[in-house]
Amino acid sequence: MSNQSSDSVKRLQDLATMVSLAKRRGFVFQSSEIYGGLNSCWDYGPLGAQLKLNVKRAWWNSMVRRDDVVGLDAAILMHPTVWKASGHVDGFSDPLVDCKDCKTRFRADNTDSYINDKKCPNCGSKNLTEERKFNLMFKTHMGPTEDAGAVVYLRPETAQGHYVNYENILTSSRKKIPFGIAAIGKSFRNEITPGNFIFRTREFEQMEMQYFVKPGQDAEWYEKWREARWTFYKKIGIREENLRWKPHGPDELAHYAKAAVDVQYLFPFGWQELEGVHNRGDFDLTQHTKFSGKKLDYFEEATKERYVPYAIETAVGCDRLVLVVLCDAYREEISVDEESGKPDTRVVLGFHPDLAPVKAAVLPLSKKAELQGPSMKLRDELAQEFEVQYDDSQSIGKRYRRQDEIGTPYCITVDFETLNDQKVTIRHRDTMKQDRVALTEVSNYVAAGLRNFSK
């Protein structure tokens, strides 16, 4: 009797597995690795850069294809008074403690051993410094002089770009309240304890949206945006059992916030924040009016009322979402080979096809010239529409596995029969089902498959 194949699926157990896959397959590398790396800085390799772009595109489309949201790309460097007005110069700090014995530096407000017993998280010593406030903004100088007058900051959030452009956007886009501004861009925070791969870094990208509403309608819009954000995560294929809401208690609220809730994700290192949805009230526009002297209010034609709008913010880290997408997509399918009886593991990144960095791979069965011609022709044709890889080295089985591991939805095999019947074999990543499809139909077949994909 032959062995029955018994399939079981294992999900990602630890972050190290993902860090290693990400490096091996060219998703994420340590920054400046040949110099020993730079703490908490990461570079996105060929597949990572494409994945990140796809994540940004998914977010951007979910925002600015709405009639009530417009896009913005603001500069990283802003007038220094922006950060006085926003409260960042005075208030954007974390409590910092040093261990006098092992010299470990850590954040007092999120380190369990310190919160519970006032102990160092590394060596357990109680020989610690007092808590000191440490401002997280990176400072630099504009122009050739390094005097205090030339100090500027690398922005610690993109949101202030939305507020200082509120009036320009309102006038130029002819939008009416309620409307939103969405932006994607780099932010910088001199985090005391960065870590967990690309989860918390000092340089990162944010995808933020500020939605301006009439005071009194803020609670309703806050709920609507919570719903919209949850729908977004479902739509890009994040498994719902790995997501939850975590409201901020009154003592956790940021200085500007009337209400706040986090979307948390179950990372291999536990539940952690992925996105914040905040009701910022009129704090920011009021502050910028105070500091700039410019009125940033709104005149409502219908009611002849003038008011300072409230802002509902949705803020997610792009790098953090890339980590979520990677962790959530990872699976190991373990089966027993029917003939040999040996266990076999297939590693798959089951990305939603909108996010998959490579949509299809063209795999000629052999390197022989007669297959190369039609294979390259097919590759070039498909590359007009999608990201495609061409791979002709090693066995077809190994090539399928390589594509599974980078999450390619379709593998297209060109074989000797193709030369007679002008057909190729298309293999599906998730089911491994194979279809024989006419060469002229491949592009339509793949496009339809990507469009109609459901988990």
Sites of contact with ligand ATP (CB under 6 A)? 157, 189, 191, 200-201, 204, 206, 273-276, 315-317, 319-320
By C-alpha distance, which of 128, 43, 7 is closest to 322? 43
Tell me how far, at minimum, the Cβ of 318 lies from ligand ATP, in Å. Answer: 8
Shortest separation between residue 207's beta carbon and ligand ATP, angstroms: 8
- In angstroms, the CA 264 to CA 81 distance is 33
Of the candidates 413, 416, 382, 386, the residue with the CA atom closest to the CA atom of residue 399: 413
Distance in angstroms (rounded) separating the CA atoms of residues 291 and 158: 19
Q: Nearer to ligand ATP by C-beta: 15 or 334?
A: 15
Give min distance, CB of 153 to ligand ATP, in A.
15
Pseudo-torsion of CA 220, 226, 231, 237, nearest 10°? Answer: 180
- Identify whether the C-beta of residue 285 lies closer than 8 Å to the C-beta of residue 292: no
Q: Which is nearer to ligand ATP, 25 or 320 (CB)?
A: 320
Residue closest to ligand ATP (Cβ)? 317
* Beta carbon of residue 83, minimum distance to ligand ATP (angstroms, whole number): 14
Identify which of residues 188 and 410 has a Cβ nearer to ligand ATP in the complex.
Answer: 188
Q: Reading across the β-sheet that carries 179-188, which strands appear in turn? A: 69-72, 179-188, 203-213, 310-317, 270-281, 259-267, 243-247
Shortest separation between residue 425's beta carbon and ligand ATP, angstroms: 41
Measured from the CB atom, is 189 or 399 closer to ligand ATP? 189
Closer residue to ligand ATP in complex, CB, 284/404: 284
CA 449 to mean position of chain CA atoms: 24
Least distance to ligand ATP from the beta carbon of 390, Å? 35
Of 317 and 357, nearer to ligand ATP (C-beta) is 317
Taking the least distance from each CB to ligand ATP, the nearer of 56 and 428 is: 56
